[in-house]
Amino acid sequence: MSGENRKLSSNNGNLMNIFAVMYFDAHTHDVSAGRNSVIQSSRMPSMEGFFSVGIHPWQVENWSKEMETILSLAKKSNCVAIGETGLDKQVTKDLSDQQEAFVAQIHLSEDLELPLILHCVKSWPEVLEVRKRLNPKQKWIFHGFSKHGLAKEVLKENILLSFGKSLILEPHLGEILRLVPKDKILFETDNSGLPIERIYEKASEILGLEETHLEEIIALNFKQTFTKWHIG
């Protein structure tokens, strides 16, 4: 079934939406994605859908100058998260710039009570150090999760794991997905170009769950995480 609302017949025979289970996408760079997605905005104030805004660790050169724009976008009613932000030791960007920008965005997430979408590549110890120091209360989503050895540690921190194309490309991830408590799972397309349905299909196969049941679980997780998201 496609991402449309399922329609059930009511007692009087009219078609109505009894429940709206859909394919929610926690992180995408596809700016034309629908309202069930959190679109990664790189400063697009006119965007109509729901979006997240932040400074990516690959783009931290002028982070302090950009914070004012980020703040004004983050206050918009359709901004549902801060990020993606975090640390990435695979790129040559100065790590202390990355750390400063990350810390500033954690404060923003706390101040505006918005969840934070985390980008973390080869830098979990550093991310953990910042997290322990700042002790944030808002939910964090580890996006594009694919690291076998990290799952337990990340879950211990009560961080949600968002799975994307790696679930399809890397068979070992199935084992991890099965270990993750159901209320800590989200799905995403990121910049893969894959339809989000493919991720759900693969996950339901891995978990041995009916796809409709899985959709319900993820819809609930999504709504409880992105609390500014709403229907209509």
Binding residues for Zn ion (CB under 5 A)? 190
Residue length of the chain: 232
Q: Which two structure tokens, joined as six digits, stand for 1?
A: 């079934």
Q: Which two structure tokens, joined as six digits, stand for 116?
A: 């934070």
Q: For residues 180 and 103, give the distance between their C-alpha atoms in angstroms, rounded to a whole number.
A: 27
Neighbours of 31 (CB within 10 A): 15
Nearer to Zn ion, 164 or 185 (CB): 164
Neighbours of 48 (CB within 10 A): 10
- As measured in angstroms, the least distance from the Cβ of 212 to Zn ion is 28
- As measured in angstroms, the least distance from the Cβ of 46 to Zn ion is 21
- As measured in angstroms, the least distance from the Cβ of 13 to Zn ion is 45
Nearer to Zn ion, 49 or 207 (CB): 49
Nearer to Zn ion, 58 or 197 (CB): 58
Nearer to Zn ion, 25 or 190 (CB): 190
Sign of the torsion angle spanned by Cα atoms 187, 190, 192, 193: positive
- As measured in angstroms, the least distance from the Cβ of 70 to Zn ion is 16
Q: Which of 46, 44, 58 is nearest to 87 (CA)?
A: 58
- As measured in angstroms, the least distance from the Cβ of 195 to Zn ion is 17
Neighbours of 132 (CB within 10 A): 9
By beta-carbon distance, which residue lies closest to Zn ion? 190
Nearer to Zn ion, 41 or 138 (CB): 41
